[in-house]
C-alpha cells in the first residue's frame, strides 16, 4: 500500500464555526493537535505517503507534528483549490490511488480506510457514508414544513478514494468549486462506490464536537491495556575509522565501530528492544549475520522493520529510551540529532524518544575505550 497509495489531508481552512481561538485542526485533543490524531489514524490504516495541505499562515505550526512521510503543501482559498494543489504535487510521482481526507476527522478507522481501498479494486472511486435514519423536514421561517423522503439519502464522510489519474484529469477539467471530491469525480463520469461509514468518523465543526471528541478519547483509554515492554543490549568494539554511527548520526571520532553492518550500537539495542517486546527474538533472527546481503547494511533497515512489525500487530510506540555507555566520543552535543533521527525512522513524535549517555567511570572495556555499549527500553501499546 505504501508505494501505490497516497493520502491528501485537507487542513487549510479557518474553521470559523468551531468558535474563537486557533483553527479547529490546531486545537488540542488530549494535549495534542487534532491533526496529530488524524495523521496517526491514517498511518494506523497503513498509509505512509501523506500530503498535508495547510494554510500558508500555519506552516510554522506544522513543526509540532510528526512529519515523517509528510509533504507539506500550501492550500488555496477554497477546499477545491487546496486539493488541486496537492494533486499537482503528487502528479510529479503519481500514486496509483489517492485518498482525500478532512483534517478535522481524527477518528477515521483502519476498517474504513481498508474498505475504501478494497472498493477501488472494482471501481474508479469510492466513499464512506452513513444512511440517513432520522426523519427529514423542510423548515420555513422557523417552522416545520414539508417532509422529505430519506430513502436513498446518505451522509458523506472521508476519506474519499480514487484512482489517481482519472481524478487528476477530472480536477483539471473542473471549472469552479465543489463541496467534496465525489461531485467532481461524478461530473467527469466516474462511478463512485459506497462503503459503510462510522458514527465515530465525525467532522469537528462546532464547539460541542470537541467535547464529544474528548469523551471518545477518554472512552478508548481503558481498552488500551495491552502494554508490552522490551529491552535491548548491544556492544561493538572500536577499530579503524573516522567516526561512529550512533542512533543514526555519524559522530566524528578517531576510530570507528566494527560490526557486520554499520555497527550502530544504539540503534541495534533499540531494535532488539522492540523485537523483545513482540517476543520476536533479536536482529540476528531477522537479519542473520551469515547472510552476506546484510554486510555493511544501514541499521535503519533493521529498526524500521521492527517498528513496522509492531504496527502490523496493532501496537504503537509509547516511548523508548536509549543509553550509550562510553568515555568517548562525547554524546551530549549530538543527542538531540540522534533523538530526531530515531523519531524520523520510526515515524513517531520526537517526544517519544530519549537518547542519553553515561560513562563507566573508566571501568571495564568501555572505561578502557575498547568499545561502546548500549542499552534500550521500548514500550509498545495496543491501540
Question: Is residue 218 within 8 Å of residue 203, measured between CB atoms?
Answer: no
Report all structural domains of the chain as residue ranges with CATH numbers, in order of start: 5-223 (3.90.550.10), 227-382 (3.30.1330.50)
pLDDT band with cut points at 50, 70 and 90 for residue 149? very high
Q: Strand, helix or coil at 316?
A: strand
**Residue 291: per-residue pLDDT:** 85
pLDDT above 70: residue 18: no
**Residue 64: per-residue pLDDT:** 84
Question: Is residue 341 within 8 Å of residue 249, measured between CB atoms?
Answer: yes
Contacts of 347 (CB under 8 A, 6+ apart): 43, 48, 66, 68, 69, 307
**Residue 79: per-residue pLDDT:** 94
pLDDT above 90: residue 109: yes
Q: What is the pLDDT of residues 314-346, one digit of tens each?
A: 899 999 999 999 999 999 999 999 999 999 999
Q: What is the pLDDT of residues 163-211, one digit of tens each?
A: 999 999 999 999 889 999 999 999 999 999 999 999 999 999 999 999 9
Q: What is the pLDDT of residues 53-102, one digit of tens each?
A: 999 999 999 988 888 889 999 999 999 999 999 999 999 999 999 999 99
pLDDT above 50: residue 1: no
Question: Is residue 181 within 8 Å of residue 114, measured between CB atoms?
Answer: no
Question: Is residue 192 within 8 Å of residue 182, measured between CB atoms?
Answer: yes
Q: What percent of the chain has pLDDT over 90?
A: 81
Whole-number Å distance between alpha carbons of 209 and 363: 59
**Residue 221: per-residue pLDDT:** 66
Q: What share of the chain is helix, strand, coil (3-state, %, to 5)?
A: 35, 30, 35
**Residue 261: per-residue pLDDT:** 85
Grid coordinates representing 114 are 481498508
pLDDT above 90: residue 16: no
Q: What percent of the chain has pLDDT over 70?
A: 96
Question: Is residue 353 within 8 Å of residue 319, measured between CB atoms?
Answer: yes
Closest CA to 355 of 370, 375, 371, 380: 375
Mean pLDDT for all residues in the chain: 92
Give bridge partners of residue 140 from the DSSP assignment.
143
Q: What is the pLDDT of residues 264-321, one digit of tens each?
A: 999 999 999 999 999 999 999 999 888 888 888 899 999 999 999 999 888 999 999 9
**Residue 314: per-residue pLDDT:** 85
Specify the higher pLDDT residue, 17 or 177: 177
**Cα–Cα distances in Å, from 180 out to 109, 171, 344?**
20, 11, 32
Mean pLDDT of 232-256: 93
Whole-number Å distance between alpha carbons of 45 and 201: 14
**Residue 14: per-residue pLDDT:** 77
Burial class, 102, CB count within 10 angstroms (exposed 0-12 / middle 13-18 / buried 19+) = buried
pLDDT band with cut points at 50, 70 and 90 for residue 224? very low
pLDDT band with cut points at 50, 70 and 90 for residue 222? low
Grid coordinates representing 374 are 548500549
Amino acid at each position: 500500500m505504501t508505494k501505490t497509495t497516497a493520502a491528501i489531508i485537507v487542513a487549510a481552512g479557518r474553521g470559523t464555526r468551531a468558535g474563537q481561538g486557533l483553527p479547529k485542526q490546531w486545537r488540542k485533543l488530549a494535549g495534542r493537535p487534532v491533526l496529530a490524531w488524524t495523521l496517526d489514524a491514517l498511518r494506523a490504516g497503513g498509509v505512509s505517503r501523506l500530503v498535508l495541505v495547510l494554510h500558508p499562515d500555519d506552516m510554522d505550526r506544522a513543526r509540532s507534528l510528526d512529519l515523517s512521510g509528510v509533504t507539506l503543501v500550501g492550500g488555496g482559498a477554497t477546499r477545491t483549490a487546496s486539493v488541486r494543489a496537492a494533486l499537482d504535487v503528487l502528479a510529479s510521482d503519481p500514486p496509483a490511488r489517492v485518498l482525500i481526507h478532512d483534517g478535522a476527522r481524527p477518528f477515521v478507522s483502519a476498517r474504513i480506510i481498508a474498505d475504501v481501498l478494497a472498493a477501488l479494486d472494482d471501481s474508479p472511486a469510492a466513499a464512506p457514508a452513513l444512511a440517513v435514519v432520522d426523519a427529514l423536514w423542510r423548515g420555513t421561517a422557523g417552522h416545520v414544513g414539508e417532509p422529505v423522503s430519506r430513502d436513498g439519502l446518505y451522509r458523506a464522510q472521508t476519506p474519499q478514494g480514487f484512482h489517481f489519474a482519472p481524478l487528476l484529469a477530472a480536477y483539471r477539467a473542473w471549472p469552479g468549486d465543489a463541496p467534496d471530491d465525489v461531485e467532481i469525480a461524478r461530473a467527469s463520469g466516474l462511478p463512485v462506490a459506497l462503503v459503510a461509514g462510522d458514527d465515530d468518523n465525525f467532522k469537528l465543526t462546532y464547539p460541542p464536537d470537541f467535547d464529544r471528541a474528548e469523551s471518545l478519547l477518554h472512552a478508548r483509554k481503558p481498552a488500551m491495556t495491552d502494554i508490552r515492554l522490551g529491552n535491548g543490549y548491544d556492544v561493538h568494539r572500536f577499530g579503524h575509522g573516522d567516526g561512529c554511527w550512533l542512533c543514526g548520526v555519524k559522530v566524528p571520532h578517531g576510530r570507528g565501530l566494527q560490526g557486520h553492518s554499520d555497527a550502530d550500537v544504539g540503534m541495534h539495542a533499540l531494535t532488539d528492544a522492540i523485537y523483545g517486546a513482540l517476543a520476536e527474538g533479536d536482529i540476528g533472527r531477522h537479519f542473520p549475520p551469515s547472510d552476506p546481503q546484510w554486510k555493511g547494511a544501514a541499521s535503519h533497515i533493521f529498526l524500521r522493520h521492527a517498528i513496522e512489525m509492531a504496527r502490523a500487530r496493532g501496537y504503537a510506540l509509547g516511548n523508548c529510551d536509549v543509553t550509550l555507555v562510553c568515555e568517548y566520543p562525547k554524546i551530549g552535543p549530538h543527542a538531540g540529532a540522534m533523538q530526531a533521527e530515531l523519531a524520523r525512522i520510526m515515524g513517531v513524535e520526537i517526544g517519544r524518544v530519549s537518547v542519553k549517555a553515561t560513562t563507566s567511570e573508566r571501568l571495564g572495556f568501555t572505561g578502557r575505550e575498547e568499545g561502546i555499549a548500549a542499552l534500550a527500553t521500548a514500550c509498545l501499546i495496543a491501540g
